[in-house]
Amino acid sequence: MKILVTGGAGFIGSNFIHYYLNAHPEDQVVNFDVLTYAGHIESLKDLEGNPSYRFIKGDITDAQAVKDAMQGVDWVVHFAAESHVDRSIIDPMQFVKTNVLGTAVLLDAALSNKVKRFHHISTDEVFGQLGESDAPFKETTPYSPRTPYSASKAGSDHLVRAYFETYNLPITISNCSNNFGPFHDPEKLIPRFITNLLEGKKVPLMGKGENIRDWVYVYDHNKAVDIILQKGVIGETYCIGGEEKTNLEVTKKILEILGLGEDRLEFVEHRLGHDLRYAIDDSKIKALGWSPEKSFEERLEETINWFKENEWWWKPLKKDRPNVDRSAQKSYG
């Protein structure tokens, strides 16, 4: 089996390649990634020289490069995207280009190449936001994206489904909630907070930390993707979720694990279009035999330990990008 993984140098994609080659050492993985600011090829340096792994530097919006990379591929697992909501508010066009056009280019090449499966990685953010007592998102929830990021991901999901309905391209889609774990870019909430605290800084929490997110450990997400590849039904969507926590609960837990006090907290303004709550009903993927292996707390502790032990990975990223903490500059309390 030869698998083309797009965006394999990113957070979830790099964890997926590690997971997949460990679970299926007989298969071949080709990582196709253009290495934007979010692509960290060093996350895969342990695979250098591994005959089952190959890296191609290429852009998913480049039809010729995609066509070449797709030769002889059985499955495509499509992670590549612009993924940071704050950046989508500043530069929405880049999100439309990568997430919508890039997905269309891949679908076209997958169809011409007769790939046996195109698995599209999407987000629960396409469903919009929930009120505190609303039922969680599930596969049949209508789309209602509220940011350029989630709208561009929604557009890509619709294209993937259209290629199934119109051309019978064998697709599956997964809509997952917020991931955390190793190799998570320090511009995102959990790694930003962990690394800020390890550097002796404060953590910028939006609003009063009341926003609720559903957290999945990246390993469990990737295990779900593998299960969908092995046992999923063609044409189906699967929602993947974990545990619901307010941002304040997550922050307090990080402080507690690190033995630090709430004086390290700093409240900052909400971002534009800040969704209140996401939650997932994951009964459909659970029916395929999936469930998270450990609790959120256990995984958070493992993640903190990973960041403590892998400063070589995250320190240069924070140094090169001082604006990662720009939300802290708008502090009001």
Ligand X SMILES: NC(=O)c1ccc[n+]([C@@H]2O[C@H](COP(=O)([O-])OP(=O)(O)OC[C@H]3O[C@@H](n4cnc5c(N)ncnc54)[C@H](O)[C@@H]3O)[C@@H](O)[C@H]2O)c1
Binding site for ligand X (CB under 6 A): 6-7, 9-13, 33-36, 38-39, 59-61, 79-83, 98, 102, 121, 123, 153, 176, 178-179, 185
Residue 81 or residue 317: which is nearer to ligand X going by CB?
Answer: 81
> Nearest distance from residue 41's CB to ligand X, in Å?
8
Active site residue 124: yes
Helix/strand/coil (H/E/C) assignment for every residue in the chain: CEEEEECCCCHHHHHHHHHHHHHCCCCEEEEEECCCCCCCHHHHHHHCCCCCEEEEECCCCCHHHHHHHCCCCCEEEECCCCCCHHHHHHCHHHHHHHHHHHHHHHHHHHHHCCCCEEEEEEEHHHHCCCCCCCCCECCCCCCCCCCHHHHHHHHHHHHHHHHHHHHCCCEEEEEECEEECCCCCCCCHHHHHHHHHHCCCCEEEECCCCCEEEEEEHHHHHHHHHHHHHHCCCCCEEEECCEEEEHHHHHHHHHHHHCCCHHHEEEECCCCCCCCECCECCHHHHCCCCCCCCCHHHHHHHHHHHHHHCHHHHHHHHHHCHHHHHHHHHECC
The least CB distance from residue 34 to ligand X, in Å, is: 4
Q: How far is the CB of 195 from ligand X (least distance, A)?
A: 15
Which one is catalytic: 33, 108, 125, 243?
Answer: 125
Judged by beta carbon, residue 14 or residue 327, the one nearer ligand X is 14
Kind of pairing between the strands at 53-57 and 171-176? unpaired
8 Å CB contact between 290 and 137: no
Q: Please give the residue whose beta carbon sits closest to ligand X in the complex.
A: 10
> Which of 20, 53, 149, 217 does the annotation list as catalytic?
149
Residue closer to ligand X, measured from CB, 202 or 274: 274
> Known catalytic residue: 125?
yes
Cβ closer to ligand X: 4 or 34? Answer: 34
Active site annotation includes 163 = no
Query: Is the separation of the CB atoms in 230 and 223 below 8 Å?
Result: no
**45 or 261: CB nearest ligand X:** 45
Which among 108, 124, 214, 282 is annotated as catalytic? 124
To ligand X, the closest distance from the beta carbon of 14 in angstroms equals 8
Pick 169 or 213: Cβ nearer ligand X: 213
Residue 41, number of CB atoms within 10 A of its CB: 15
Cβ(268)–Cβ(331) below 8 Å: yes
Query: What residues are annotated to the active site?
Result: 124-125, 149
